[in-house]
Homo-oligomer: A and B are copies of this chain.
Amino acid sequence: MKKPDAQEVGTLIASECLSVRVRRLGRVITRIYDAALAPHGVSAAQLNLLAAIAVGDGARPGDLTRLLEVEKSTLSRDLKRMEQLGWIRSEAALPRGGRIVTLTPAGARLLTDVRPAWEKAQARARAELGEKPFAQLRAALPSPLKAR
């Protein structure tokens, strides 16, 4: 028999831990967007990245890591995949081997094509969460664009 202590700690964490809730939400939300976007052959993560690149019509990888709070090694591989898919292009341009990433025409087309599916996912997420939690969440989480 385990010490009853472990059960208490387990209950505490299961009910109070922020990472439990946030990670669970992430799985649910990601599934919704992935399902809606699947017909276009793009994932939620990839669409996030495409959008971030489109905003400035070209971005430096360092900006993207800060904007999306993603590790540089992760970004490196994600960009490589998207480059192989023909959605983006990366041009060596700056001093220290720095680069600039831009959308290809195919990437730009994908982004506009996908918009209805994205709106469907957004609506679906709102419905699943409920109107009120959706709004609370919106209020609690800063838009990455505002964030810096």
Interface string of A95-114 (1 = CB under 8 A from B): 00000001101011101101
Interface string of A1-24 (1 = CB under 8 A from B): 011011101111111111111111
* The residue from B25, B55, B57, B109 contacting A14, defined by CB atoms under 8 A apart: B55
Q: Which residues of A contact B (CB under 8 A)?
A: 2-3, 5-7, 9-30, 32-33, 44-45, 47-48, 50-55, 57, 68-70, 102-103, 105, 107-109, 111-112, 114-115, 118, 121-122, 125-126, 129, 132-134, 136-146
* Interface CB pairs A-B, < 8 A, 12: A2-B108, A10-B55, A13-B48, A13-B111, A16-B143, A18-B126, A20-B51, A20-B144, A21-B143, A21-B144, A27-B70, A137-B141
Q: Which residues of B contact A6 (CB under 8 A)?
A: 54, 103, 107-109, 111-112
Q: Which residues of B contact A11 (CB under 8 A)?
A: 51, 54-55, 145
